[in-house]
Amino acid sequence: MRGRSVERILGVVEGRRPGRTVIAIGGMHGNEPAGLDAVQTVLRELSRRNVDLAGKLVGVAGNLQAIAADRRYLERDLNRGWTPQTCERVAKPRPGETPEDAEQRGLLEVFGPLEAESPQPLVFVDLHSTSGPAAPFSIIPDVTRNRELALRLPIPTVLGLEEILEGVMFGYLVDRGHMGVAIEGGQHEDPRTAALLEAVIWLTLVEVGNLDARHVPGGVQAQRERLRSRAEGLPPGVRILQRHGTSPGDGFQMEPGFDNFSPVRAGQRLATDHDGPIHASEDGLVMLPRYQGQGSDGFFLAKAITRRWLMASALARKGTPARLLAAWPGLHWDASNPNRLRYDGTEPPAPMMRTLRLLGYHGVRARPPGLEFFRRRP
């Protein structure tokens, strides 16, 4: 099944009743075949059983050229570069464009008409797998409509990743008002991964109201248990603290034995590169350790969060207008861009940081002489 040739549209199943448009994407990275398998299996099962579906399910393949080559990408990661400026630039073919520019244009040509015809936000399910051993988990841009879907899946939810990484496809789509989840289903080669990703598609169709639970193969509880059993013992969610980025030729090599959610202590050796050992800067959990050649993300450090924290965060967003944060000394709120906050210093107090995280301001970057905190548009 590696190095296969697939069409951009893997299939479409249209329901007989009005409902949401769900777009299931596999193969955004060409060396991750399990997502493609999962989408094709669900489409085939819906068609075979002639299920009474509402709305429609559209199966989409991501990086066709990388899928054919069985590589993560050819010249650039297709899951980066999703900014309004880049999308406008790749909209028309041009001399010297990369293979991924053409792939991004192909995806935009699918998303645009679906967006135009849908009276409701589109629902995206972006299916991935990992190079290292992994339990399934979801990743969301941290806005309420995504949380409501992600927290109904019995797997951990990762917050803050989409805010730290610039130009991720899901962040672009959420900023346009759409919703959904990205899923890491397990290791590339693990035969269970495709089945876990299938379970996510079935449960998403049920949760958004497109499919009656009695039509789910094996039953909803069986699909939920398939996911829950693989995530047993893991925290309900984690918040990304920091990213260790890599560059071509830097000799990055992850130390063996790390899985997602592996606990580490400050000072523990995590990887090496040409500059020497790389140590954990603080206590936390390792996420997405890179055990493959391609990619610019070496690993992430995260902190476990509780269901109580998630509930408190949801309540805070309903009852705390972000402009009230300007009462904090040194913090500035701009009505023209309420999802960006400027801070005059470089070492914000811990209580302020906790409050910002509760309200979804996971992103932080240097804006001399101070800092800028940012979140996704709600």
Please tell me the predicted confidence (pLDDT) of residue 2. Answer: 62
**Does residue 258 register a pLDDT over 90?**
yes
- Whether 4 is covered by a domain: the verdict is no
Q: What is the pLDDT at residue 209?
A: 97
In Å, how far are 125, 242, 244, 271, 280 from 265, measured between CA atoms?
A: 34, 14, 16, 14, 7
What's the pLDDT at 89? 96
Residue 275 falls inside a structural domain: yes
Residues 274 and 341 in one domain: no
pLDDT at 250: 94
Looking at the chain, the whole-number percentage of residues with pLDDT higher than 70 is 98
Q: Are residues 282 and 345 in the same domain?
A: no
Q: Which of 230, 262, 282 is at the close of a domain?
A: 230
Q: What's the pLDDT score for residue 174?
A: 94
Domain extent for 335: 320-374
Query: Which one of 65-79, 284-298, 344-358 scores highest in mean pLDDT?
Result: 65-79
360 and 255 in a single domain? The answer is no
Decide if 378 contacts 256 (C-beta within 8 A): no
Cα-based torsion angle of the residue sequence 2, 199, 190, 67 in order, rounded to the nearest 10 degrees = 20
What is the per-residue pLDDT for 14?
A: 96
Note the pLDDT of residue 206: 97
CB-based contact 238:302 (threshold 8 Å): yes
Please determine, for residue 362, whether its predicted confidence score (pLDDT) is greater than 80.
Answer: yes
Q: Which two tokens stand for residue 333?
A: 């709120």
Pull the structure tokens for residue 24: 């299931």
Q: Please provide the size of the chain in residues.
A: 378
What is the 3-state composition of the chain as percent helix, strand, coil, each rounded to the nearest 5? Answer: 35, 25, 40
Whether residue 115 is found in the same domain as residue 260: no
Q: For the chain, what is the mean pLDDT?
A: 93
| One domain for residues 60 and 206 | yes
Q: Say yes or no: 147 and 259 in one domain.
A: no
What's the distance, CA 319 to chain centroid?
A: 27
Residue 335 lies in a domain: yes
What is the average per-residue pLDDT within 279-289? 95
Q: How confident is the model at residue 286 (pLDDT cuts 50, 70, 90)?
A: very high
Same domain, 209 and 299: no
Identify the band that residue 67 occupies on the pLDDT scale cut at 50, 70 and 90.
very high
pLDDT of residue 82: 96
Indicate which CATH number applies to the domain containing 63.
Answer: 3.40.630.10
User: In the predicted model, what is the mean pLDDT of residues 139-165?
Assistant: 91
Q: Which residue has the higher pLDDT, 114 or 316?
A: 114
Give the Cα separation of 9 and 291 in Å (integer).
30
Q: What is the pLDDT of residue 310?
A: 86
Q: Domain total for the chain?
A: 3
Task: Please determine, for residue 322, whether its predicted confidence score (pLDDT) is greater than 80.
Answer: no
pTM attached to this predicted model: 0.90
Query: Do the domain assignments include residue 347?
Result: yes
In a domain, 109, yes or no: yes
What CATH number has the domain bearing residue 292? 2.40.50
> Residues 122, 79: one domain?
yes
Name the domain boundary from 230, 252, 283.
Answer: 230
The model's pLDDT over 126-138, given as tens digits with 9 standing for 90+, comes to 999 987 778 999 9
The pLDDT, as a whole number, for residue 237 is 94
Paired sense of beta strands 157-159 and 237-245, if any: parallel
User: 113 falls in which pLDDT band (50, 70, 90)?
Assistant: very high
CA-based end-to-end distance of the chain: 39
Out of 204, 230, 256, pick the residue that ends a domain. 230
Q: Are residues 284 and 243 in the same domain?
A: yes
Reading phi first (left if > 0) and then psi (alpha if -120 to 50, else beta), residue 37 is in: alpha
pLDDT attached to residue 3: 72
pLDDT at 4 over 80: yes
Verify that 172 and 64 share a domain, yes or no. Answer: yes
The partner residues of 278 in beta bridges, in order of sequence, read: 271
Provide the sign of the torsion angle of the four alpha carbons 45, 48, 49, 52, taken in this order: positive
Domain membership of residue 253 (yes or no) is yes
Has residue 376 got a pLDDT over 90?
A: no
- Does residue 357 sit within a domain? yes
213, 113: one domain: yes
Please state the rounded mean pLDDT for residues 29-48.
96
Q: How far apart are CA 282 and CA 303, in angstroms?
A: 10
Q: Is residue 182 predicted with pLDDT exceeding 70? A: yes
On the question of pLDDT at 42 being above 70, the answer is yes
pLDDT of residue 284: 97
β-strands 340-343, 331-333: how paired?
antiparallel
- Whether 299 and 166 map to the same domain: the answer is no
60 domain residue, yes or no: yes
Structure tokens at 4: 């296969």
Could you give the residue ranges of the DSSP H alpha helices within the chain? Answer: 33-49, 64-69, 84-89, 99-117, 144-150, 161-164, 169-175, 193-207, 220-230, 307-319, 350-358
Q: Is the pLDDT of residue 320 over 70?
A: no
